[in-house]
A and B are shown apart, each in its own frame.
Chain A
Amino acid sequence: MNLTILTKELKKGVSITERVTGKNLTLPILDNVLIEALSNFLKISATDLELGVQWWGMCKTEKEGKITIPAKLLGQITGSLSDEKVNIKEKGNTLVLEGKNYKTQIKGFTADEFPIIPSFSKDVFIEIDARKIKDGLMSVVDMVSLSQIKPEISGVYFLFEKDLVRLVATDSFRLSEKVITFSNKQGYKNMFKERVSFILPQRAAKELINIVSDEEKTLRIYFSESQVLFETFLSTVNHPEINLISRQIEGEYPSYQEIIPREGKTKITVNKEEFLRQIKTAGIFGGRTNEVVLKIAAKEKEVEIFSQDADVGEANLNIPAKIEGSSLKVSFNWKFLIDGLTTIKSSEILFEFQGDDGPAAIRPIGDASYLYVVMPIKL
């Protein structure tokens, strides 16, 4: 192998792939990245056998070849490079990085031991606006269940319909749904006749958020029997830049539509920022159970927020609100409220309740695409 590449490019490739590797005691090869010199491209791959990532960067290749190198070492070294360009060579099982006034040699292993990242048939795919998927994922990814007891909710549910995409996550206490609509098929091309859906592990979803940069335009999604592949493209030439391969979570996503409550019996409209601030303050006295109480009196103009901890103290707060429907006293885990509120961008929210033991829904005003449903705490 012998190639020359822009240092900036190499750094980018290493930082993207390095994240997927980790300490793996049973199979040390997984702590490595695979470096391949192809014609015109440097390719770096990493996997932990659940998730795989491949990155391509343009380079000037004089001799093709491949080697595996400990990811952490490579990251440390590229991190300190300052030259504009870097030359990469391979000698036996050693990788040589060379610039104007430095030369480093990293001991590596033969590439044969590196796992093979599953390949996909790329005939049929979904092409979609990368930014919209990224933003949508960011607003739901934290509500995924961390427990493995119900594996099918330990990931984000993607549902591709004719001209809209639904992203859903729930941990059985709360649920968030983001609907991305595409008018006139702008930014969305679905080559499948039927509805397509899959459940993506949370880690893969977070990785996807990470690899989609702010300038990214399109994202392509391919499927195989139990895997899914996300692909972004180089801006300069028509060639993939990053492939993220993940397993799909086996199983059927619960029929979550049934959870979403119809119109609430009590409704309040409040300023989001102020509500968020008040809930945070009340949270200080939430105690072990994280409980804050909302007291809503019909025909009043304020909602009372109350929390109490025997050892710490208590908080009584008020927030101006437009109240509709019947009076209600209901408790929530304040952390759950914060999680929902922080993902909302609108200045006002509508909070709808179904009594003190039914699901409550938070909706941003003026934005029908997002919905957050949360269950109360029952005394």
Chain B
Amino acid sequence: MDLENLWQSVLAQIQLNISPANFATWFANTKILSLENDTVIVSVSNSFSKEWLEQKYGKDILKILHSTDENIKNISFVVDPKKTKKTMGGKKSVNKEDVLTEQLGFKELEVNKETNLNPRYVFENFIVGPFNEMAFAAAMAVVEEPGKNYNPLFVYGGVGLGKTHLVQAVGNKIKEDAPEKRVKYLPAEKMISIIINSIKNHNVEELKKNLRELDVLIVDDIQFIAGKDKTQEEFFHTFNSLYQKNKQIILSSDRHPSTIPAITERLKSRFKGGMIADISSPDFETRAAILKQKAEEKNVDLPKDILDFMANNIQRNIRELESALNRLIIFKKANNKSPSLEDAKKLLKTIIVSPSKITNSKKIIQSVTEFYDIPNGNMFFVSRKKEFSRPRQVAMFLLKKELKLSYSEIGRKFGGKDHTTVIHACQLIEKTAEEDEKTHQEIELILQRVYSN
């Protein structure tokens, strides 16, 4: 007789002797946890039930147990409150009125303490289009058999295109399918601070042990470890140890691994060892689909022509789509009516028109130096070293292309270079950008930096 049947037979007999209210109060959520030697251990939902069953029904229960199984001589009760826990989930019904303004909450509380994953990021609300289908397919393959298919999975793409959403969704899905798996999500910045702290507190060994016992390690924005030598070293060893044990590693970055500056070659080659999937900018249909879903999440109705207008005109990233949507929602709230297409055009003018033109030479140069991780000022030195000359050429090219500065003006900015040098640089970069996909990507990413924030 298994434990469940054994306990059922006890309940069936006890029930005859006490009132239904008493029975429901004291015997709800009870079960036999184990039967070892001659002792039965019964779990109850709270301490009151424990005291009551022990003192009032202990003997009766034992008698019944003994009559079904002569070997049972003892009984003990333990409190197991988890059994009473309510099941989580269920969609909250949101009041339409309340959605117009959003009371912000502490994001930290939503995050799962063990995995560090945010439960909001799941595949159900991840929209797939031509721009990200490869990354999505790779992610699904990883979910199916973590550690086997693509290891590491390296996802890259510009800001606000859904990298974090995708990698967290993988983590959440793996955890959902196999709750026993140890999944950990770490933004690179957090990883760096954890490693620094552990060095400071002299418990590096403990950290190593923790990281190496994981089944899935997800590191977001891995490009931030550029220039952090100690972190890179620790990460390198963790990476190897996980990889050898066929544990899944997922990385995300804003650029292709070979263009991340200031990380060691051995790490670069490992990043490239699995699957590299890129996420580019969404096309019109996908943007429209994303807008539709965001509007649904926020529970607002907007006419289709407005949504199409937004999808058509805001192309760069998904975050901007969302902020545009928020503007319309504020308008709706303030005026108590849906915006017309004309209103929308007026409201979104600043988002749509301005940013592409508002920039300056300082910002471009800063973005380039940041992107290539060159110490400030070094780009202006007269140096033929490739690590400086190429960024310099890229910066010249961008100054010409984006700001339409004159060649000689650009030359003056770079320590009085001759305008022919500048012309050469611009032509060179333009040509390579056309022929070489990698350079093209680099330029795109730098431009994104220039125009983001």
Residue from B47, B85, B86, B108 in contact with A259 in the complex, judged by beta carbons closer than 8 Å: B108
Give chain B residues whose Cβ lies under 8 Å from the Cβ of A28: 21
Q: Mark A83-126, 1 if CB is under 8 A from B, else 0.
A: 00000000000000000000000000000000111110000000
B91–chain A nearest beta-carbon distance, Å: 12
B82 adjacent to chain A (CB < 8 Å)? yes
- The answer to whether A118 touches B47, judged by C-beta atoms less than 8 angstroms apart, is yes
Q: Cα distance A258–B194 when bound, in Å?
A: 13
| Closest partner residue, chain B, to A249 (CB atom) | B81
Give chain B residues whose Cβ lies under 8 Å from the Cβ of A250: 81-82, 85
Give chain A residues whose Cβ lies under 8 Å from the Cβ of B51: 115-119
Stretch at the interface among A55-63, A205-213, A219-227: A219-227
Interface of B is mostly: helix
- The answer to whether A170 touches B109, judged by C-beta atoms less than 8 angstroms apart, is yes
Q: Mark A234-260, 1 if CB is under 8 A from B, else 0.
A: 000000000000010010101110110
Give chain B residues whose Cβ lies under 8 Å from the Cβ of A225: 47, 78-79
Residue from B21, B79, B330, B336 in contact with A379 in the complex, judged by beta carbons closer than 8 Å: B330
Q: Mark B247-285, 1 if CB is under 8 A from A, else 0.
A: 000000000000000000000000000000000000000
Q: Cα distance A175–B101 when bound, in Å?
A: 20
A7–chain B nearest beta-carbon distance, Å: 32
A249–chain B nearest beta-carbon distance, Å: 9
CB contacts under 8 Å to A, within B73-128, are 78-79, 81-82, 85-86, 88, 97-98, 100-106, 108-109, 113
Could you tell me how many residues of chain B have their Cβ less than 8 Å away from some Cβ of chain A?
36
Interface residues on A, range: 35 or more
B338 adjacent to chain A (CB < 8 Å)? no
| Closest partner residue, chain B, to A50 (CB atom) | B46
Give chain B residues whose Cβ lies under 8 Å from the Cβ of A247: 46-47, 81
B25 adjacent to chain A (CB < 8 Å)? yes
- The answer to whether A379 touches B101, judged by C-beta atoms less than 8 angstroms apart, is yes
Q: Cα distance A173–B102 when bound, in Å?
A: 11
Q: Cα distance A284–B86 when bound, in Å?
A: 38
- The answer to whether B48 touches A116, judged by C-beta atoms less than 8 angstroms apart, is yes
Give chain A residues whose Cβ lies under 8 Å from the Cβ of B86: 148, 151
Residue from A224, A258, A310, A376 in contact with B108 in the complex, judged by beta carbons closer than 8 Å: A258
B270–chain A nearest beta-carbon distance, Å: 31
B350 adjacent to chain A (CB < 8 Å)? no
Residue from B21, B50, B56, B97 in contact with A27 in the complex, judged by beta carbons closer than 8 Å: B21
Which 5 pairs from chain A and chain B are nearest by CB?
A: A118-B47, A116-B51, A375-B104, A172-B105, A250-B81
Chain B residues with CB under 8 Å of chain A are 21-22, 24-25, 46-48, 50-52, 55-56, 78-79, 81-82, 85-86, 88, 97-98, 100-106, 108-109, 113, 326, 329-330, 333, 336
